[in-house]
């Protein structure tokens, strides 16, 4: 059995259960060691000093203690030291005091060479002493008295076998107890996962010890030949561990891979099922904006950054937690035992704090961040695959909300059966024209005149009733339906714009498109054909994209964006202020309008911070020669404050809610009449046809 705390050099917290356990075992072991040496015959010990056999055995014990035999890279208690064979032979040949003295020297040399912490060296010494003491007691019960001329015979096999068993059981219990407390796992689980490998190795080592004694008595010079089989065991075990490590670990970071994560999770779930109230947590972590590092500085720098991230994660989790790399910039953290969701959030928050410390590579400083999704057993999932899926859902929710950490919520799971059913209904809704556009005006805050409308998609499900866009648009974005949905919205908006423009309502319609739609090379051609079909100028329609488009350099070089600029279709940047981009980057895109996110606008009369943010955005937008639009204007006080700041346009419930095509047309005409503007009558053939279309949309 190897040291149970190989991954930590700091001692346990004073007063903790692990500290108490280590202290008790260490005290008992040291007392047993001192007691054994107290009964040592000094004359006999002086005689051993002049014995070449004794020094040969001591050297073999020291060499065997320097490096353990590892049969698996994933064992909780490490490897097995070959020194066991020679020390047990010394126990049979010289007795317990000499065996403990030789083993003590070997452990102290091992601690000095490997620079182990003092508490680890003392615990190793204590648990080995207690194990050999147990073996010595069993031998004494069978009347065994060590003597240099003693040679084991067949009748001694039972005593030797039971002594070896006592030694193995004592070490297994002592070390497994420390590992269980260190990693907050049950001792039964630790023993169950290691007892097979350990018992086979110890059976071989302890079984060879009597042969070593026989050789010591008949041909002492041949004892060093036992190094040869030990070297063969080392070589074979090393190859086995290397293959095992490659199969179970990530080649770049050395972290466990998905295969080992599955194994560890299944073990934790099995133990949790056996203990009522036990929870297992799985955290999925994805680095934010890591692709920019690879694209800008190359993959070698990105690889070194991933290695740095792996180091920070492994030193930020609790003992017993498992950090794994799943691929790319995605990591997972298994919490084999977690109290509740709040405790899992604390671990996630600690991981994010560790990652946000600036990283310096290639003379540059990187600011890292990550989004973390959390799923718990049995609260959210019954097995590994479901835990992985639902932590993945939570992680993407964290990315979308820019909250950093999110716990799985069933009602936000787009992959639930209900959501998948909704996706099928959405496809049929597009085919059956069940979707409708509603329109919300944008008003000039100073003059009070309408400066366009925003088209907002609405879906009245034949069974479920009105469905929020927040429920079905993200579904479409993750499926093949998004392009079809965008085409549907653009065609409907162009058709409505044609009706308004050819009846005297020259109102620009803004349509929301995703970043993927904006970069679609077919979009400019579709818009150009639609504008020509309805005899509309390019300014009749405007495309709104979210601020995230500024985070990808592809937007600045895409042919589709250049084609839209050449066509004359303006762009608007929606929900500005919620991302991480700089307004200076706006100069590289053909953006005509910046829409300030409603979350800031609503609070400008209550929060000085939000007021300063909105005022700063308005000033910067004006300095760039762009138009500012405040979303979420819901009171006269907010509208007045925005006008005082110099914001150009406002949009929100205070002016008008989103309306159907018929209601929006009536509202626009009424608003123009109130402002003294005359409206032409509908007399042309096109106008009559447009009126029929309008009536059909509201049917």
Least confident piece of the model among 344-353, 423-432, 629-638: 423-432
More confident residue, 676 or 445: 445
Choosing among 1.20.1600.10, 3.30.70.270, 1.10.10.10, 3.30.1060.10, the CATH entry for 258-412 is 3.30.70.270
Question: Does CATH place domain 436-670 in 3.20.20.450?
Answer: yes
CATH number of 17-248: 1.10.1760
* % the chain with pLDDT above 70: 83
Instruction: Name which of 52-61, 464-473, 677-686 the model is least confident about.
Output: 677-686
Residue 693 has pLDDT above 80, yes or no: no
Q: Taking the CA atoms of 122, 125, 127 and 129 in sequence, report the sign of the dihedral they define.
A: negative
For 545, the 3-state DSSP assignment is strand
Contact 323, 255 (CB under 8 A): yes
Q: What is the rounded CA–CA span in Å between residue 372 and residue 553?
A: 25
The HSE-up count of residue 76 (CA atoms within 13 Å, CB side) is 30
Kind of pairing between the strands at 591-596 and 571-576? parallel
Query: What's the number of CA atoms in the CB half-sphere (13 Å) around residue 297?
Result: 17
CA pair distance 404, 371, nearest whole angstrom:
5
What are the tokens at 485? 């949905």
Q: Which residue has the higher pLDDT, 220 or 618?
A: 618
For residue 128 the two structure tokens come to 């080995």
Average pLDDT of the chain, as a whole number: 81
15 vs 688, higher pLDDT? 15
d(CA 32, CA 37): 9
Q: Domain residues of the chain, as ranges?
A: 17-248, 258-412, 436-670
Q: How far apart are CA 576 and CA 667, in angstroms?
A: 28
- The string of DSSP codes covering 306-369 is HHHHHHHHHTTSPTT-EEEEEETTEEEEEESS-S-HHHHHHHHHHHHHHHHS-EEETTEEE---
* Segment among 130-139, 273-282, 409-418 with least mean pLDDT: 409-418
Pick from 113-122, 255-264, 586-595, 644-653 the range whose average pLDDT is largest. 644-653
* Phi, then psi, of 176 in degrees rounded to 5: -65, -35
Q: How sure is the predictor about 333, in pLDDT bands with cuts at 50, 70 and 90?
A: very high
Domains 258-412 and 436-670 fall in the same CATH topology: no
Distance between CA atoms of 52 and 73, rounded to whole angstroms?
A: 38
What band does 265 get if pLDDT is binned at 50, 70 and 90? very high
Pairing outcome for strands 649-651 and 627-631 = parallel
| Confidence (pTM) | 0.51
Neighbours of 242 (CB within 10 A): 12
**What would the pLDDT profile of 200-251 be if each residue is shown by its tens digit?**
777 777 878 888 888 887 777 787 877 777 777 667 766 766 777 677 888 8
Q: What is the DSSP letter of 154?
A: G
Q: How far apart are CA 467 and CA 460, in angstroms?
A: 6
CA atoms of 456 and 595, how far apart (whole Å)? 15
Q: Is the dihedral of CA 320, 325, 326, 332 positive or negative?
A: positive
- Close Cβ partners of 159 (under 8 Å, ≥ 6 residues apart): 138, 139, 142, 144
Q: Estimate to the nearest angstrom the gap between the alpha carbon of 140 and the chain centroid.
A: 56
**Three-class secondary structure of residue 385 per DSSP:** helix
Q: 692 burial class (0-12, 13-18, 19+ CB within 10 angstroms)? A: exposed
Instruction: Enter the DSSP assignment of 593.
Output: E
Which residues, 6+ apart, have CB-to-CB distance to 391 below 8 Å?
Answer: 282, 283, 284, 332, 373, 374, 375, 408
Q: Is the pLDDT of residue 628 over 90?
A: yes
pLDDT for residue 690 is more than 60: no
Residue with tokens 């059966």: 417
């Amino acid at each position: 059995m190897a040291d149970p705390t190989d991954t930590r050099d700091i001692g346990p917290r004073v007063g903790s259960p692990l500290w108490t356990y280590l202290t008790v075992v260490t005290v008992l072991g040291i007392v047993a060691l001192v007691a054994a040496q107290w009964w040592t015959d000094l004359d006999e010990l002086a005689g051993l000093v002049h014995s070449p056999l004794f020094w040969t055995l001591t050297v073999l014990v020291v060499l065997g203690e320097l490096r353990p035999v590892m049969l698996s890279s994933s064992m909780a208690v490490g490897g097995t030291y070959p020194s066991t064979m020679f020390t047990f032979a010394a126990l049979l040949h010289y007795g317990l005091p000499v065996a403990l003295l030789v083993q003590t020297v070997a452990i102290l040399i091992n601690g000095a060479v490997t620079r182990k912490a003092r508490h680890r060296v003392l615990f190793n010494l204590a648990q080995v002493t207690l194990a050999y003491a147990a073996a010595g007691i069993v031998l004494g019960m069978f009347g065994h008295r060590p003597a240099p001329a003693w040679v084991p015979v067949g009748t001694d096999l039972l005593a030797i076998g039971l002594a070896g068993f006592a030694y193995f059981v004592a070490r297994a219990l002592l070390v497994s107890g420390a590992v269980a407390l260190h990693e907050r796992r049950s001792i039964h689980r630790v023993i169950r996962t290691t007892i097979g490998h350990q018992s086979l190795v110890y059976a071989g080592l302890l079984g060879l010890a009597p042969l070593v004694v026989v050789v010591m008595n008949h041909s002492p010079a041949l004892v060093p030949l036992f190094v040869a089989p030990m070297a063969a065991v080392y070589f074979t075990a090393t190859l086995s561990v290397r293959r095992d490590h490659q199969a179970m670990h990530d080649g770049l970071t050395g972290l466990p891979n998905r295969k080992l994560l599955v194994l560890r999770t299944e073990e934790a779930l099995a133990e949790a099922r056996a203990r009522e109230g036990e929870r297992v947590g799985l955290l999925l972590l994805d680095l934010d904006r890591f692709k920019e590092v690879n694209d800008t500085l190359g993959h070698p720098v990105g690889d070194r950054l991933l290695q740095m991230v792996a180091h920070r994660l492994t030193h930020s989790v609790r003992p017993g937690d498992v950090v794994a790399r799943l691929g790319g910039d995605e990591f997972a953290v298994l919490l084999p035992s977690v109290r509740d969701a709040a405790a899992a959030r604390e671990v996630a928050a600690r991981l994010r704090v560790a990652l946000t410390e600036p990283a310096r590579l290639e003379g540059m400083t990187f600011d890292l961040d990550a989004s973390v999704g959390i799923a718990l057993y049995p609260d959210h999932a019954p097995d590994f695959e479901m835990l992985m899926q639902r932590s993945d859902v939570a992680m993407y929710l964290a990315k979308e909300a820019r909250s950093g950490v999110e716990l799985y919520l069933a009602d936000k799971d787009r992959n639930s059966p209900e959501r998948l059913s909704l996706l099928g209904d959405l496809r049929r809704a597009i085919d059956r024209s069940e979707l409708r556009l509603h329109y919300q005006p944008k008003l000039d805050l100073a003059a009070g005149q309408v400066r366009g409308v925003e088209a907002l998609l609405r879906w009245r499900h034949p069974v479920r009733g009105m469905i929020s866009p927040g429920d079905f648009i993200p579904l479409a974005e993750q499926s093949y339906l998004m392009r079809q949905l965008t085409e549907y919205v653009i065609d409907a908006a162009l058709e409505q714009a044609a009706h308004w423009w050819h009846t005297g309502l020259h109102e620009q319609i803004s349509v929301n498109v995703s970043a993927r739609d904006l970069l679609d090379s077919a979009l400019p051609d579709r818009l150009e054909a639609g504008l020509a079909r309805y005899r509309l100028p390019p300014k009749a329609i405007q495309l709104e994209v979210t601020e995230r488009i500024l985070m990808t350099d592809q937007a600045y070089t895409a042919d589709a964006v250049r084609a839209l600029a050449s066509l004359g279709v303006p762009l608007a940047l929606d929900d500005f202020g919620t991302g991480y981009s700089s307004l200076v980057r706006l100069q590289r895109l053909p953006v005509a309008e910046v829409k300030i996110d409603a979350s800031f606008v609503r609070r400008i009369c209550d929060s000085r911070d939000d007021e300063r943010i909105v005022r700063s955005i308005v000033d910067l937008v004006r300095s760039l020669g762009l138009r500012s639009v405040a979303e979420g204007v819901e009171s006269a006080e907010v509208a007045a404050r925005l006008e005082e700041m110099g914001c150009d346009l406002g949009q929100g419930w205070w002016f008008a809610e989103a309306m159907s095509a018929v209601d929006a047309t009536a509202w626009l005409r009424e608003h123009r009449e109130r402002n003294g503007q005359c409206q032409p009558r509908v007399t042309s053939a096109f106008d009559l046809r447009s009126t029929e279309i309008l009536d059909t949309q509201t049917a």
